[in-house]
Amino acid sequence: MNAMRAKVPTPTPRRASRQRPTAAALTAFTLVELMVVMVIITILASLSLAGMAGARQRAKIDKTRATIQKIDSVIRPMFDSYRTRRITVSGTNRVTNATTVLTTKRGLMAREMPDSWDEVPSTMADYNALSASYKTAITRTYTNYRITSTGTAAPNSSPECLYLIVSRSGYEPDALENFRAQEIIDADGDGNKEFADGWGNPIAFMRWAPGFSSPVQSNAPTAQHDPLDPLNTDANAYALVPLVYSAGPDETYGLITMSVATGSGSDKKDGWTLLNLGSLCSLSVTGATDSSWNTKKAGETDPSNPTAYLDNITNHDLMKK
11-21, pLDDT tens digit by residue?
Answer: 655 555 556 65
Contact 244, 315 (CB under 8 A): yes
Check pLDDT > 60 for residue 259: no
Question: CA–CA separation, 203 vs 114, rounded Å?
Answer: 15
Average pLDDT score over residue span 98-113: 89
Predicted local confidence at residue 265, as pLDDT: 34
Cβ neighbors of 123 (< 8 A, separation 6 or more) are 143, 147, 266
What is the chain's length? 321
3-class DSSP assignment, residue 301: strand
How big is the CA angle at 35 (ends 32 and 38), to the nearest 5 degrees? Answer: 155
Position 155 pLDDT exceeds 90: no
Asked if residue 21 has a cis previous peptide bond (ω within 30° of 0), the answer is no
**Is 162 within the bounds of a domain?**
yes
Q: For residue 172, what pLDDT is reported? A: 93
Rounded CA-CA distance 109/117 in Å is 14
- Cα separation, 129 vs 278, in Å, equals 27
Straight-line distance from the first to the last Cα atom of the chain, in angstroms, rounded to the nearest whole number = 113
The reported pTM is: 0.78
Mean pLDDT computed over 20-38: 69
Confidence of residue 321 (pLDDT cuts 50, 70, 90): very low
With respect to residue 27, please indicate whether it lies within any of the assigned structural domains. Answer: no
DSSP-derived letter for residue 241 is: -
CA 46 – CA 30 distance, rounded (Å) = 25
Task: State how far the Cα of 292 lies from the Cα of 160, in Å rounded to an integer.
Answer: 28
Give residue 77's pLDDT. 95
Segment 310-318 shows an average pLDDT of: 93
Q: Is residue 310 part of a domain?
A: yes
24 in a structural domain: no
Q: With respect to residue 38, please indicate whether it lies within any of the assigned structural domains.
A: no
For 218-240, write each residue's pLDDT tens digit: 766 566 888 888 898 887 778 88
| Model pLDDT for residues 117-137, shown as the tens digit of each residue | 888 888 999 999 988 999 999
Q: How far is CA 26 from CA 19, 22, 190, in A?
A: 13, 6, 68
3-state secondary structure of 209: coil
**Does residue 302 belong to any structural domain of this protein?**
yes
CA distances to 183, 207, 246, 305 from 66, rounded to whole Å, are 10, 20, 12, 27
Spatial distance between the Cα atoms of 313 and 68, rounded to a whole number of angstroms:
8
d(CA 63, CA 177): 17
Assigned domain for 227 exists: yes
pLDDT of residue 50: 67
State the total domains in the chain. 1
**Which stretch of 35-44, 71-80, 117-126, 293-302 has the lowest confidence by average pLDDT?**
293-302
DSSP 214-226: BTTB-S-TTTSB-
DSSP of 165-196 = HHHHS-SSTTGGGGS-GGGEE-TTSSS--EEB
Task: Answer with the residue of higher pLDDT: 288 or 20.
Answer: 20
**Phi and psi for 5 in degrees, rounded to 5?**
-65, 130
**pLDDT band for position 181 (cuts 50, 70, 90):** very high
Residue 168 has pLDDT above 70, yes or no: yes
Asked if 258 and 285 touch (Cβ cutoff 8 Å), the reply is: yes
Given pLDDT bands bounded at 50, 70 and 90, which one contains residue 23?
A: low
Q: Which of 233, 207, 204, 206 is nearest to 107 (CA)?
A: 207
Is residue 84 one of the residues assigned to a domain? yes
Confidence of residue 147 (pLDDT cuts 50, 70, 90): very high
Structural domain range at position 308:
43-317
Residue pLDDT, tens place only, 79-94: 999 999 999 988 889 9
Distance between CA atoms of residues 61 and 91, nearest Å: 52
* Residue 216 backbone dihedrals phi, psi, to 5 degrees: -115, 0
Share of the chain above pLDDT 90, in %: 40
